[in-house]
Structure 1
């Protein structure tokens, strides 16, 4: 018999048995309960997202699939959103947290412009994004921030804890390793916007071929000093030719 002093150490979701089981400390569906307690039952984007910097702007691309555990919960998710007149954010991770982060960044960007009479710089926007993620209120999201300001085009890789680096190209999500291999081979400093779109599409396609959490089309976002354009394409091949 287990001493009574050990009962306090039992995890009700772990399936630990006691002399009092199954009424105390033992559940036949412990795996399902554990998944719920750790957030494994929430809707996640799974995801492959990429960002590339060019001389004329930035290109951001994502797949369009959302997953709920092992199930595809949506085939038409827009994983890149405009958050600034010349800035956009991709999302990978928890859908609810990502949606809240995007709404917060849009509001803060609008407030900045209203108070100061000018748009927030990409450096300031990336710092704000990192600070919000460090607060722990948006667990767990791993975005890519891309935008254009007076200093040119910028791509920022921001991890789920708020760490930030500026890159020429970057990837996030479960299909990252497949997409990154394409970017390593095909990225060049002198890419035009159209060439960058093709490279981004090919990297997403590579991930879709091997990553089960990515698929169902592509969101393509182009950011220049004139604004943000987001388009959806169910047929990735039309962008890779």
Structure 2
């Protein structure tokens, strides 16, 4: 799911997004895995991964690196929770994730981490381990296309039920132009009560399911 550009810089092929809402966080990603954005190796990759019961992340980069990274992150946070009450906040999870990236030297990963511990928060974590919190975040080769939609459509005062449609449309818009993104979509909604993750085997099916949860016609434009 990654390659290098003409300057030898690692590039990642996918589209993932994270949005902060009034009552929680929405994370979404396409499900295409490819080699350098040219050869499709998997059409059902799950790029939205729970970290604990109220925090999850999306990844752009090597699937193998991401799976190994998530295992290490879960272990680190479990150790933290044993020594701290209450457990790790989203801010702590983002800091630990960034430290792991720097320490383990996994430069092919871009992360969007979000959760509701204690408040709805989304962090973008770059391949160098830099951390930035923002109401919207995107990663991967389709990120510019996703940002173009999110900057206009996102409203942090909307509920996660409404923002599911915004996240789905942002990923869909990216897949229309970015050849390294597509096939299906994973959407996760995180509130103080639950973390819900759904997998769809088609982009349009995901958009239809997301938009059916809201009657606000202004969400999808």
**Shorter chain as normaliser: what TM range?**
0.7 to 0.9
3-state SS of 2:113 partner: strand
Contact 1:112/1:118, CA 8 A, preserved across alignment: no
For the pair shown, which has the larger CA radius of gyration, 1 or 2? 1
Judge conservation of contact 1:202–1:240 (CA < 8 Å) in 2. Answer: no
Q: Which structure's relative contact order is higher, taking Cα pairs within 8 Å and 6+ residues apart?
A: 2
Q: Which string of whole-angstrom CA distances, capped at 9 and with x for unpartnered residues, describes residues 125-158 of structure 1?
A: 11111111122432310000001113x1100011
Structure 1: tracts of 5 or more residues without a match = 1-33
Separation (CA, whole Å) in 2 of partners of 1:230 and 1:45: 23
Aligned equivalent of 1:140: 108
Q: Aligned runs of 1:63-142 on 2, under 5 Å?
A: 63-69=30-36, 70-142=38-110
CA RMSD of aligned residues (A): 2.1
Q: In the alignment, which residue of structure 2 is the partner of 1:204? A: 171
Alignment coverage as a number of residue pairs: 202
Pairwise CA distance, 1:224: 1.2
Q: Which has the higher strand share?
A: 2
Question: Aligned ranges for residues 1-20 of structure 1 at < 5 Å?
Answer: none
Q: After TM superposition, which residue ranges in structure 1, 4 or more long, deviate above 4 angstroms?
A: none
Deviation at 1:113, TM superposition (A): 1.8
Match in the other structure for 1:188 = 155
Aligned to 2:217: none
Deviation of the 1:55 alpha carbon: 1.6
Report the Cα offset of residue 103 of structure 1.
Answer: 0.7
Which ranges of structure 2 fall in alignment gaps of 5 or more residues?
213-221
The alignment's TM-score, normalised by the length of structure 2, stands at 0.85
The offset of 1:237, in angstroms, is: 3.3
Equivalent residue for 2:124? 157
* Stretch moving more, 110-119 or 72-81: 110-119
